[in-house]
C-alpha cells in the first residue's frame, strides 16, 4: 500500500492536465511560435513606415499603447508563448516529481529539466526587457570628462579605425577612461558590437558613430597649449579658457573667444582670429595658431533590465548541457 506521502505526491492524470503537460502541446506551441515570428518579421518590414514605425529593439509596450489589427500576429504570439511557458512549467514539474518519487538522485537525470527552466527564464528575460527597457538619450564624449548619466564619467583617449579596401570604415574602436566618483579611472573599449556596459548589461552605451571635436592650439610667447570647448589651459602664468570656437571646414576663417586670467589683473575676454596675434593687458601676445580635431564618440544610452535575467538563463542552459554531457561519460569499472 502506498504511504500517505507518496499518495500526496501523485499528480493528476487525464483531462486538462494531460493536455497541458503533453509533449504534443509543446511541439504545437513551438511550431506556432516559429510561424508567428516569421509572419511578424514580414509585417514589420512591410509596415515599417506605417503601423510599425514606433517599434524598436525589444520594446513591446508600443503594441499595447498603439494597438493595431496589423499586429494581430503579436497578440496571438503572446498567448501562444504564455501557453508554451505553462506547458513547460507543468511538464517539468511533473517530470521532476516523478523522478524524485522513484528515487532518482543523480544530477544528470535532471539535465533536461534544468534546460527547461533555462527556457522559462529566457522567456522571463524577454518579458522584463520588453516591458521595462527604455532609451535615455545620447551623450557625446570627447577628450574631457563627460557625465554618462549612470553615475560614471568617461573621456576618449584614442580612436582606432580599420578600413576596407575601398577606403570605407570597417570597424572603429574607441578607447575610453571611465571612472566613478569614489574610484580610480579604468580603461574601456567601445566598438559597434561591443558597448560600454554596467550592472551585468543593465546599462548599455552603444556606439552610434566615432566623430571629432575641434580644439584650439593657443600660443603665447614660447608657451603653447591646446583647449577644447569649455576647457582651460595654462600658458605660463596666464590661464586661458576657451569659451567659443568656430572652425569652418578647411580651417580658414577660424576664430575663438577666450577668457584670459592673469594674476594681479582682472580677467579679460578677447576674440582670436586664426594666425592674428592679440595683445593682452600685460603686453604679451596671444595667438590662435591652429584648430585641431580631437577624437570623440557619440553614444546611445539604453537601459535593459532584462539582460541580467538573460545571463541567468544562459548559465542555467550551460549547466543543463553540462549535466547532459556527463550522461555520456564512461562509467569506470570497479577494480
Domain total of the chain: 3
Do 301 and 153 lie in one domain? The reply is yes
Query: Residues 101-122, buried b or exposed e (16+ Cβ, 10 A)?
Result: eeeeeeeebbbebbbbbbbbbb
Query: Does residue 160 lie in a domain region?
Result: yes
> Can you tell me the distance from the alpha carbon of 269 to that of 256, in angstroms, rounded to the nearest whole number?
10
Report yes or no on 202 lying in a domain.
yes
- According to the model, what pLDDT value does residue 4 have? 47
- Residue numbers of the chain with a pLDDT score lower than 70: 1-14, 57, 249-251, 326-335
Predicted confidence (pLDDT) per residue in 92-117, tens digit: 999 999 999 988 888 889 999 999 99
How confident is the prediction for the chain on average, in pLDDT? 87
> In terms of domains, do 69 and 95 share one?
yes
Residue 123 lies in a domain: no
Q: What pTM did the predictor assign?
A: 0.72
Q: Which of 100, 127, 153 is the last residue of a domain?
A: 100
In a domain, 141, yes or no: yes
At 83 the pLDDT is: 96
- The whole-angstrom separation of Cα 23 and Cα 6 is 25
- Contacts with 119 (C-beta within 8 Å, 6 or more apart), sequence order: 88, 313
One domain, residues 72 and 149: no
Residues 56 and 72 in one domain: yes
Is 245 part of any domain? yes
Q: Residue 318: inside a domain, yes or no?
A: no
Same domain, yes or no: 189 and 301: yes
Within this chain, do residues 175 and 301 fall inside the same structural domain, yes or no? yes
201 and 301 share a domain?
A: yes
Residue 45, domain extent: 12-100
The answer on 234 and 194 residing in a single domain is no
Q: Is residue 122 part of a domain?
A: no
- In DSSP terms, 321 is beta-bridged to none
Residues 285 and 301 in one domain: no
Residue 6 domain-assigned?
no
Same-domain status, 266 and 152 = no
* Rounded distance between C-alpha atoms, residue 156 and residue 170, angstroms: 20
Specify whether 240 is located in the same domain as 219.
yes
Q: Are residues 142 and 271 in the same domain?
A: no
Query: Residue 303: which of 52, 13, 57, 2 has the closest Cα?
Result: 57
* Contact between 106 and 123 (Cβ < 8 Å): no
Amino acid at each position: 500500500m502506498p504511504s500517505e506521502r507518496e499518495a500526496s505526491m501523485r499528480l493528476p492524470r487525464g483531462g486538462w492536465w494531460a493536455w497541458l503537460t503533453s509533449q504534443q502541446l509543446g511541439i504545437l506551441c513551438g511550431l506556432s511560435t516559429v510561424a508567428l515570428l516569421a509572419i511578424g518579421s514580414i509585417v514589420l518590414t512591410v509596415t515599417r513606415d506605417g503601423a510599425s514605425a514606433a517599434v524598436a529593439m525589444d520594446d513591446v509596450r508600443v503594441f499595447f499603447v498603439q494597438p493595431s489589427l496589423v499586429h494581430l500576429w503579436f497578440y496571438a504570439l503572446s498567448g501562444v508563448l504564455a501557453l508554451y511557458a505553462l506547458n513547460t512549467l507543468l511538464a517539468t514539474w511533473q517530470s521532476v516529481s516523478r523522478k524524485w518519487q522513484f528515487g532518482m538522485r543523480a544530477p544528470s537525470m535532471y539535465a533536461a529539466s534544468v534546460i527547461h527552466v533555462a527556457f522559462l527564464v529566457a522567456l522571463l528575460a524577454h518579458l522584463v526587457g520588453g516591458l521595462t527597457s527604455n532609451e535615455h538619450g545620447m551623450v557625446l564624449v570627447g577628450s574631457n570628462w563627460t557625465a554618462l548619466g549612470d553615475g560614471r564619467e568617461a573621456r576618449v583617449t584614442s580612436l582606432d579605425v580599420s578600413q576596407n579596401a575601398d577606403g570605407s570604415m570597417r570597424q572603429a574602436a574607441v578607447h575610453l577612461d571611465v571612472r566613478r566618483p569614489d574610484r580610480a579611472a579604468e580603461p574601456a573599449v567601445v566598438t559597434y558590437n561591443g558597448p560600454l556596459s554596467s550592472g551585468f548589461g543593465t546599462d548599455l552605451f552603444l556606439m552610434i558613430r566615432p566623430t571629432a571635436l575641434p580644439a584650439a592650439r593657443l600660443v603665447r610667447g614660447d608657451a603653447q597649449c591646446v583647449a577644447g570647448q569649455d576647457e582651460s589651459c595654462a600658458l605660463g602664468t596666464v590661464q586661458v579658457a576657451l569659451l567659443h570656437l568656430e572652425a569652418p571646414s578647411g580651417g580658414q576663417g577660424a576664430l575663438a573667444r577666450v577668457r584670459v586670467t592673469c594674476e594681479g589683473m582682472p580677467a579679460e575676454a578677447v576674440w582670436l582670429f586664426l594666425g592674428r596675434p592679440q595683445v593682452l593687458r600685460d603686453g604679451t601676445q596671444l595667438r590662435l595658431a591652429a584648430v585641431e580635431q580631437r577624437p570623440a564618440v557619440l553614444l546611445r544610452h539604453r537601459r535593459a533590465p532584462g539582460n541580467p535575467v538573460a545571463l541567468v538563463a544562459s548559465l542555467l542552459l550551460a549547466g543543463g548541457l553540462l549535466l547532459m554531457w556527463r550522461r555520456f561519460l564512461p562509467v569506470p569499472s570497479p577494480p
